[in-house]
């Protein structure tokens, strides 16, 4: 494909679906997130809980991928993964992460930054047992991020787990569980005309959320 023929410089969208004012947002960024999330759900946005998580290892090499938000409250934002995965290893070395939600139909983004910690085993088990059986088996079968020579090996491992646990409850894998991002910074972005987007920043300063408008 000849990338020059696509004329990337000519691809643009004029944003005009909403506004965002620092005098109208909630003083609590978790409440503001909840309001926007509910609007996104109501708008029937596909994979509304999909979020990009960016991590970096101890040498500072960054990495990003999309995961699914499974829980959020004022304690933080939780997703679940194999603790031997690349992202979990990054977090073990450097327990800081950034999240990004992009809801194109609403012309909105939310960026969240903070430290990361594991959830309790009880929290992980409660979510694990709520998953479909095949997803529970998949967690046991996959050595996430490891190199495999063929998909057939993964399917074989899944079959072995199906046989192993066919007569009882599937236990929580010791290498699988939740990670919670505990925010100290939020940014709410609303697309506007002429690229003069609205950006409202929250920063936690000694337990108090400071709210500021940022230049686009």
Catalytic center residues: 195
Residues in the chain: 216
Residue position matching structure tokens 């967690």? 139
CA-CA-CA-CA dihedral for 121, 122, 123, 124, to nearest 10 = 50
Instruction: Give dist(CA 148, CA 164) in Å, integer.
Output: 22
Say if residues 98 and 56 touch (Cβ distance below 8 Å): no
Token digits for 24? 């109208």
Instruction: Write down the residue that tokens 């960026």 correspond to.
Output: 111
* DSSP label at residue 169: P
* Distance from C-alpha of 119 to C-alpha of 180, rounded to nearest angstrom: 6
Using CA atoms, how far apart are residues 89 and 197, in angstroms rounded to an integer? 36
């Amino acid at each position: 494909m000849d990338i020059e023929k696509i004329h990337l410089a000519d691809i643009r969208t004029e944003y005009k679906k909403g506004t965002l004012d620092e005098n109208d947002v909630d003083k609590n960024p978790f409440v503001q997130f909840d309001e926007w999330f509910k609007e996104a759900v109501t708008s029937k946005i596909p994979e509304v809980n999909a979020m990009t998580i960016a991590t970096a290892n101890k040498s500072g090499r960054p990495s990003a991928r999309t995961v699914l938000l499974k829980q959020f409250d004022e304690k933080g934002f939780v997703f679940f993964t194999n603790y031997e995965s690349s992202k979990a290893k990054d977090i073990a070395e450097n327990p800081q992460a950034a999240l990004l939600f992009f809801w194109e139909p609403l012309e909105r983004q939310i960026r969240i930054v903070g430290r990361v910690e594991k959830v309790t085993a009880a929290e992980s088990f409660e979510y694990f047992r709520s998953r479909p059986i095949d997803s529970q088996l998949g967690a046991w079968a996959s050595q996430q991020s490891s190199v495999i020579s063929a998909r057939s090996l993964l399917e074989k491992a899944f079959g072995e787990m199906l046989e192993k646990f066919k007569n009882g409850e599937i236990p929580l894998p010791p290498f699988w569980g939740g990670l919670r991002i505990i925010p100290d910074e939020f940014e709410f972005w609303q697309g506007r005309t002429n690229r003069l987007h609205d950006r409202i920043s929250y920063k936690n300063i000694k337990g108090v959320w400071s709210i500021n408008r940022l230049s686009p």
